[in-house]
Structure formats: structure tokens, C-alpha cells
Amino acid sequence: MNPVENYFFNQKEPCQSIMLYIRSVILKTLPGVEEKYSYKIPFYHHNKKPLCYLNILKGTDYVDVAFVQGILLEGKFPELKDDNKRKQVRSLQVKNLEHFDETMFSRLLQEAANLLDKNKKAWNI
């Protein structure tokens, strides 16, 4: 088992199921995406640049699906939140799959990948 899979299978329910489902949507929507284990969490890279990552923040009951260039996406996708006063990262907070909009999430992933294609760097935009 690779480190990313290990990370997922060490999570408690319902976060484990949510993360595995989100992972499947990411891999299906962006087949060329590269899954990496960085900073002890799963990252998804598009053209060698970090696109998004999955995390469970301490003291929360949701999966944080964080987009590295989220600040550039929040106008089109008001679902993105900035609860931690992060400079450029914005995230979806997924508490359950019943209210998860896969169609919107797929569009968000595609838009995020298009943005990365246009920018030289992922961080410090």
C-alpha cells in the first residue's frame, strides 16, 4: 500500500469514505493528475504543479478539499471557503456525501487545472 492509500485507510468514518469518493472523482475528472504524499497529506498535481489537497483540520468534522489557487476560483465557485484566513488557498468543506455536488466539483477541478496551465507557479500568485 502506498502512503496516500495508507493515509486514507487510517482515517475514521465518515471521513474515510468521503476522502475515497473525492479521490475517485479527482482521478476520473483529471486522468493525468499525479497523486503525491506531501506534508503528511494527499496532494494532487497537474503538470507537476500542486492543484489541490485533502485534509482533516484538527477540531473539525469535515474533509477539507483545498485548492492551491482557490482565491482565483472563488468568484466562479462561491462554495469555496476561507475559514482559516489563508492567503490564496480556498476549500470545500465536505461533511457528508449526501450534499456533495459531483458535477460542480468536476467543473471546479477542470477550472483549477486550466488556471494552473495559464500560470507559471502554483503558489504565490
CB 64 within 8 A of CB 55: yes
Q: What angle do CA 66, 63, 56 make, to 5 degrees?
A: 85
* DSSP string covering 14-25: THHHHHHHHHHH
Q: What is the pTM of this model?
A: 0.93
* DSSP string covering 92-105: EEES-STT--HHHH
- Paired with 94 in beta bridges are 63
Q: Which residue do the cell numbers 489541490 mark? A: 52
Question: Where along the chain do its domains lie?
Answer: 3-118
Q: What is the Cα 68 distance to its own chain's centre?
A: 8
CATH of domain 3-118: 3.90.1150.200
C-alpha cell at 91: 476549500
Which pLDDT score, from 0 to 100, does residue 119 have?
81
Per-residue pLDDT of the chain (125 residues; tens, 9 = 90+): 899 999 999 999 999 999 999 999 999 999 999 999 999 999 999 999 999 999 998 889 999 999 999 999 999 999 999 977 888 999 999 999 999 999 999 999 999 999 999 887 766 65
